[in-house]
Amino acid sequence: MDSTSASHFPALKFAPLQSRFDVQFWSELAERKLDRYRLSEEPVPLHGTFSCSRYVEVGSQLCLDGGSFELDHHCSSNSTSSAQAGQHLVKGTGRLYNTWENFRDGSDKAELLKEAAARVWKDILSGETESTPELLSQFTVLCYADLKLFHFNYWFGLPALKPPSPFLTSPSQSLEEYFGTDASKKVAEACDAWLRQSPGHQLVEQPAQGGESTSVCEMAASQLSRTDVNTPHASPFAWMLSYCISQEDATLPQESCTGLPGIMARLACQPLAALNQLSASSDGSTVSDGSTVSNEQWMLAFSDHSSVSGHPGWVLRNLLLMIAVRYPLVKSMKVVCVRASKTGRVDPSRCLVLTVQLPAVPDGWCQGPGEVPEAVGWEPNAEGRLLPRKVDLSPVMSPTLLAEQAV
């Protein structure tokens, strides 16, 4: 892809990952504020989970629930969220203010988002995000709870670092359009297997359609050291997909408009760290040195929470920036936005394939001490303004109302 044609591509727009705090979260917060944190306004570690989009009507959300406070005890104790396939962890920090005034004036909001962004940036530069992709998304929540009225005010921010120039993209295709029916099914199966690998979770073999072997879904789970993931949650939200077009199949009728044969020889999902294998090639897709194993193709895959056609989810932003910063030789990247149907299985007709042009990142860009790329990501309120949200939970939490209800 030369630069003249790249300039015709539109800038890629991302659908924000929306936060969703359930009643459990607030009741746990109320209890902890009273019994444990008391007057402390120190940041507390939190986490939430999201899955890939499963419904056409609405994107997947970042859910914070009663277990969101229990990160450290996750592995050992019986906290709310046990190991769940298909769920991805997003960690963050919560600040629980004692008064409305502190919530309003206590801290510089821009500074707080910048702090969260700085953590992400540090992890990108150190290469940490390649072994632990969840570090690419780190949120900040500010809360003020009026525990007498059961009113909760909060502000959620998930920072996205802005690249030197926007990511550009070709028009998206569905996975089905891109690979053709048969091959896209195999890719979807491989992604399903990746998403559902989880310690203690039984991988279910689906009967292969038309007697095809499913062994092409070569799992790379073993390559992933469990200590890297350090949570019982399922696989990282981003991974690499590699496949070869076998030579003998090249003569088969070409099924897809991109000219790929309908059948792929070798298909594997690999941890994101496999990125380093494509630094040798300039466009991240093909190495053509003439040898037989050279036609290996690489695609970036991620669990896409967005349900908007043509637009990937927010979590891809920092991921793409990481690749642009860490692998400057990779100029463009094929991205599979993995989405499922309402059965929970990856649906080739909903998955998007994008060809993203990565911006050139100048050497040493934003790498000086204290330098962080600009970050955006405060969540707007229901009216679309950058203001805090408020939840009134007196109907479900107030003891007086509950007592009335019980009669």
Which residues, numbered 296-325, are part of the site for another protein (CB under 8 A)? 307-311, 314, 317
**Does residue 19 bind another protein (CB under 8 A)?**
yes
In the complex, the smallest distance separating the C-beta of residue 211 from another protein, rounded to whole angstroms, is 19
**Does residue 114 bind another protein (CB under 8 A)?**
no
Task: Please report, as residue ranges, which positions from 186 to 205 form the binding site for another protein (by CB under 8 A).
Answer: 196, 202, 204
Task: Please report, as residue ranges, which positions from 86 to 105 form the binding site for another protein (by CB under 8 A).
Answer: 86-87, 100, 104
In the complex, the smallest distance separating the C-beta of residue 247 from another protein, rounded to whole angstroms, is 36
Which pairs with CB-CB distance under 8 Å and at least 24 residues apart come from 222-231?
223/270, 223/271, 224/271, 226/199, 228/131, 228/132, 229/132, 230/132, 231/71, 231/74, 231/75, 231/89
* Count of residues near another protein by CB under 8 A: 85
Identify the residue among 102, 153, 277, 285 touching another protein (CB under 8 A). 153
163 is written with which tokens?
């690249």
Q: With contact defined as beta carbons under 8 Å apart, do 269 and 219 qualify?
A: yes
Torsion angle, CA of 98/100/104/109, rounded to 10 degrees? 40
Spatial neighbors of 51 by CB under 8 A, at least 6 apart, are 60, 86, 87, 88, 303, 305, 340
Identify the residue among 121, 167, 178, 194 touching another protein (CB under 8 A). 167
116 or 260: whose CB is closer to another protein? 116
Identify the residue among 1, 6, 20, 164 touching another protein (CB under 8 A). 20
| CA–CA dist 141, 50 (Å, integer) | 16
**Does residue 147 bind another protein (CB under 8 A)?**
no
Task: Please report, as residue ranges, which positions from 234 to 263 form the binding site for another protein (by CB under 8 A).
Answer: none
CA distances from 104 to 41, 45, 46, 199 (A): 14, 21, 21, 43
In the complex, the smallest distance separating the C-beta of residue 270 from another protein, rounded to whole angstroms, is 22
Which DSSP helix (H) or strand (E) runs through 156? strand 151-161
Candidates 20-28, 221-229, 251-259, 352-360; binding stretch for another protein (CB under 8 A): 20-28
In the complex, the smallest distance separating the C-beta of residue 279 from another protein, rounded to whole angstroms, is 25
Identify the residue among 5, 34, 58, 99 touching another protein (CB under 8 A). 58
